[in-house]
Structure 1
Amino acid sequence: MSEKTKSAFFDSPEASSAAAPPPFSQAVSDAGPSTFQSRFASITRHGLDRIRLVNLSEVEIAAMHEIVRTYWERGIDKVYPQESSREFKLGGYAWGYDPNGNEQAMMLTLRILEDALIFRKVNHIPPPCEWLNVSFHGGDKLKILNFPPTDLVNDIMATFMTDIQRHEVTPDRAKIKFKGYPWRPLESDGAETQLKLLALLESFERHSFTLYARTSARFADETSESNVLVFQRRKDWVAGKTLYDQL
C-alpha cells in the first residue's frame, strides 16, 4: 500500500503507542456520580375517603394538600403522618360508588395528575398539555370530562353511531348512553367490549391524545367497579400533526 492510499486511521504515530484502556470496573468508578437519577413516588386511594402519598418531599406534600383543598369542596378532615408516607382523610366519601360517576372525585384525580405529575419526578418541566377524563358507568354509559374538543366528540359519535341510544354534549363534557350493556359483557370472552374499547382508543389517537393513566376500583359488593382513563395532548398540537409528531 502506497503512502497516498494508507488509511487515515493508521497515519498517526501515537495510535500504536497509546496506553491500553482501563478495566471496565475502574472506568465506571472513575466516571463520577451520574447526573440523572429518577426519584419515584406514588399516590394511592384507600377506603372511601383516603389519599396516601409515598416518597414525596414536604414541598410536594404541601402542594398536594393545596390541590385537594382547592378541588375537593369538602376539604381535608385530617392528616396522618407516617414514617415514610402521609395520608389525607377527605371530608365525605370521594371514592364511594356512584352509578353515574362522582364527577368532582374524578376531576380531583385529574387535577392531581395534571398539576402534580408526581408518578415520576424528572428534572425537566413537561410541556403544557390538555387533559381529558373518560369514565364508564352502569354498564352502558360513557362520560368525557374537562372540555373535550368538538372534533373529537364528533369523531366518537360517528364511530359508534349505530350503538348510541342517546347523548348529551355541553362545552365541558360529553355523556353517551349506549344500547345494551357494552361495558358489562354477557359473553364470557367480552370480545365486543374489547373491540369498542379499541375503537375508542383509536378515536383519541386520531386526535393525538395519548393514554396517560388508568385508575380503577372495585367496591365492597364485589360487583360494582369504577374505571377511569386519563388522556393528554400537548397544547401546541395543531390539526394535521400525528401523535408521533409530538414524541
Structure 2
Amino acid sequence: MFDRLKGEFHRQDDASSTAGSSTRPPPPAYDGPPPNARPTSTSKETNRPYERPEPTFRTNFGSVSLHMGDRIRLMGLPPEITAAIRSTLQQTWPNGIQDERGYHGSVEFKLRGYPWSPTGDDAIHARRVTRGIMATLYSHGWVLYISTDISRKPGDKDNLFFRHQDPPPAPREWFSCTFSKGDRIRLIDAPESVVQDMIRTLQGYIQTHRPYHVSGTYEIKLNGSPFAASGGETMVSRVLCLELFEVLERNGFTLYASIDQKYGGQHGTETDSWQMSRPVGWSPGAPVYHQ
C-alpha cells in the first residue's frame, strides 16, 4: 500500500515539473568571491566596493635578563630604551658599568662588583638597580608582562619580559621590599606612612625595628625565622604576606613584580625581592588597581 502511494506521489511531482519547465526562469547565477578572497564593503560616496585594510595593531615585546653575578642583557628593546637603561644603571649602581658589548643578539652590560651575589650594602643597591630598570621601562610604556625562571642552570635568576604600550601608562612611584636572613623585612625607599603602617600591623610578630644604616632603608626583625621555617611555622610567612598585602592596599600600592635576582648557590634557596608601585598623586580612599 505504502509503495503504491509513494509511486503515485512521484508521478505527480514529475508531471508538475515537466509542465512548468517551459515557463520557469533559470536559477540566478551567483558570482561570489573565490574562497580566499579578502572581504569587501561598499563606499557610500561612490557605491563601489573596496577592500578592507589589514589590521595595523602590533604588540612589541622585550626582555631583560640577569646573568652570572654581574651581567644584564637586553633583547628586543630599541636603542633609545637601551640608552635610558644605561643611564639608570649609572645612577642606581654605585660601582658603575665596567663594560658594554653585543652578545648573541642582545646588549650586555657588565657591572663593576657583583649585584646578583652581593655582600653588605650592595644588597640594597642591587634592588634599586632592578627597580630602576622597571621604573624606567614603565615610564617609556614598557610594562612588565611576566617575571619567570626559564633556566635549570645552578644559580640562575629570573628573566623579565616586557610588553610595549602606547601611549605610556600614568606615572607611578616605587619602593622595594626584601626578605633577609630568615627573619628580616627591609623596606627600601618606602614612604614613611607605609613604614609606620607596617610596624603597627605586624607588631605582634616584631622583635625589633630600626632605620637600617643604608640611607632610605628600614629594617624590621621578626620573631623566630619565618623565612627559613619548617613544619607548622612555614604558615607564619604566609600570614605575614597576607598582612603585607593589606598594608600595601591601604596605602595605594600593589605588588608590581616578585623577582629572584640573587644567586642562591647550588640549591637556589634565596627569597624573591618585591617591587611595589602606586599612581603618582594617589590619596587615601581612592581605588587601588592591580597592574
| CA radius of gyration, larger in | 2
The CA deviation at 1:176 is 0.3
CA gap 1:99/1:69 in 2 versus in 1, 3 angstroms:
closer
**CA–CA separation in structure 2 for the residues paired with 1:198 and 1:100:** 28
The CA deviation at 1:124 is 0.8
Match of 1:136 among 173, 179, 187: 179
**Letter in structure 2 aligned against 1:127:** A
**CA–CA separation in structure 2 for the residues paired with 1:126 and 1:182:** 36
CA gap 1:101/1:196 in 2 versus in 1, 3 angstroms:
farther
2:249 alignment partner in structure 1: 205
Contact 1:159 / 1:199 at 8 angstroms: preserved in 2?
yes
1:113 alignment partner in structure 2: 134
2:81 alignment partner in structure 1: 60
Number of residues of Structure 1 aligned to a counterpart in Structure 2: 225
1:230 alignment partner in structure 2: 275
**Letter in structure 2 aligned against 1:157:** I
CA gap 1:167/1:31 in 2 versus in 1, 3 angstroms:
farther
**Letter in structure 1 aligned against 2:99:** K
Match of 2:115 among 80, 94, 118: 94
Q: Does 1:154 align with 2:196?
A: yes
**Letter in structure 2 aligned against 1:80:** R
1:126-155 per-position Cα deviation (integer Å, ceiling 9, x unaligned): 211110101110000001111x22332222
Q: Does 1:26 align with 2:68?
A: no
Match of 1:196 among 228, 240, 260: 240
**CA–CA separation in structure 1 for the residues paired with 2:116 and 2:197:** 31
The CA deviation at 1:226 is 4.1
The CA deviation at 1:242 is 2.5
Q: Does 1:85 align with 2:106?
A: yes
The CA deviation at 1:101 is 6.7
The CA deviation at 1:31 is 3.7
**CA–CA separation in structure 2 for the residues paired with 1:116 and 1:52:** 14
1:149-169 per-position Cα deviation (integer Å, ceiling 9, x unaligned): 233222211221111011014
**CA–CA separation in structure 2 for the residues paired with 1:144 and 1:69:** 22
CA gap 1:101/1:184 in 2 versus in 1, 3 angstroms:
farther
Unaligned runs of 5+ in 2: 1-31, 41-50, 143-161
The CA deviation at 1:189 is 8.2
**CA–CA separation in structure 2 for the residues paired with 1:219 and 1:97:** 11
Q: TM-score, normalised by structure 1?
A: 0.81
**Letter in structure 1 aligned against 2:244:** L
Match of 1:167 among 193, 200, 209: 209
Contact 2:186 / 2:218 at 8 angstroms: preserved in 1?
yes
Q: TM-score, normalised by structure 2?
A: 0.69
CA gap 1:180/1:122 in 2 versus in 1, 3 angstroms:
same
**CA–CA separation in structure 1 for the residues paired with 2:288 and 2:85:** 30
Q: Relative to structure 2, which stretch is displaced further, 166-175 or 137-146?
A: 166-175
1:190-214 per-position Cα deviation (integer Å, ceiling 9, x unaligned): 2221121121112101212111111
Contact 2:69 / 2:263 at 8 angstroms: preserved in 1?
no
Say which SS state the counterpart of residue 127 (structure 1) adopts. Answer: coil
Contact 1:100 / 1:137 at 8 angstroms: preserved in 2?
no
1:60-115 per-position Cα deviation (integer Å, ceiling 9, x unaligned): 21221121122222222222213421111111111114477711111111111111
**Letter in structure 2 aligned against 1:168:** R
Moved >6 Å (runs of 4+) = none
Q: Does 1:177 align with 2:189?
A: no
CA gap 1:108/1:48 in 2 versus in 1, 3 angstroms:
same
Q: Relative to structure 2, which stretch is displaced further, 233-242 or 212-221?
A: 212-221
Unaligned runs of 5+ in 1: 1-19
